[in-house]
Structure 1
Amino acid sequence: MKAKTERRKFIEIVERIMVRWGYTATDGKVYALLLLSNRPMTITELAKETGLSRSSISVSLNRLVREYFVTCRREGKTKYFTAVPAFLEKFLRQPKEILEREVRPLEEIVKSMIEKSDDDMKPRLEAILDDLKKLECVLELIIRVEEEESECLTNG
């Protein structure tokens, strides 16, 4: 019984991580199942295991293959899918993506809002901007450390 509970928890946590990273819950569930499988699986097997439609599994697999979470091999008309453990690689990309897609654009918007704001709102917006600048510094530090670590691993 404990093994089933651990399996279910594993799938839930992988699903939650994937959703946080911008993937769908289906992507997370499919990826988790493939990670736990000791052999490649077909779309039909994944649909049966998850209770989801073959088309939703197919859409997820296409995304997961494109993002290098999953590999696909074909035998005749049948496609077999295998998970590639990629948590570290995807996690290390997160600080850079957050910085470029969210923090810096948000800083620009807040700066613009400060220029246009009245005196009552200005201190609140400046506090937000200050917090965003601190976040930017932390993210840049994480990115720098990751780049140095990656360089050490490559040259080590």
Structure 2
Amino acid sequence: MKKNILIAIALFTVTLAKAQVISQSTITLEAAKKIVAEAVKYAKSVNAPGGAIAVVDNGGHLIYLERLDGTFAAASEVATKKANTSALFKAPSSRLENAINGGRGALITVGHTFLQGGIPIIFNGQVIGAIGVSGSASAQQDEDIANAGSKAQIQ
């Protein structure tokens, strides 16, 4: 009887340990550079006057940042924060900005950057990071550049 209880406890413990481990993809530096290159290509095709483009991992940590000539200095920080917000909320940052503008003002107390221009990067159905853009001609152009980058073919 005692032996059966010990076996049951051992099997239960093994089952719990397996239940606590998940498999998740993460973005690489190579993929981040490819995403930024696609965003820069789009920005140049629409004659964007500048822009800072940041890619973060799914935890919101900076992987790669590029600032185009003519972009104001703070754009790098804003782009990174837009990407961070998008990665952590697993949604475009514009969705959160729209919620605030629609009356959900309490969101501003959360401490993130709820400005249009952050887009999640999805691979095999998982958010593996996000891209944020700031400093182009408009908030909409920031988002358009981010969208273009998020569509880069990565493996």
Q: Structure 1 length normalisation: TM-score? A: 0.23
Greater per-residue helix proportion: 1
Report 1 or 2 for greater relative contact order, CA contacts < 8 Å, sequence distance ≥ 6. 2
Greater per-residue strand proportion: 2
Larger radius of gyration: 1
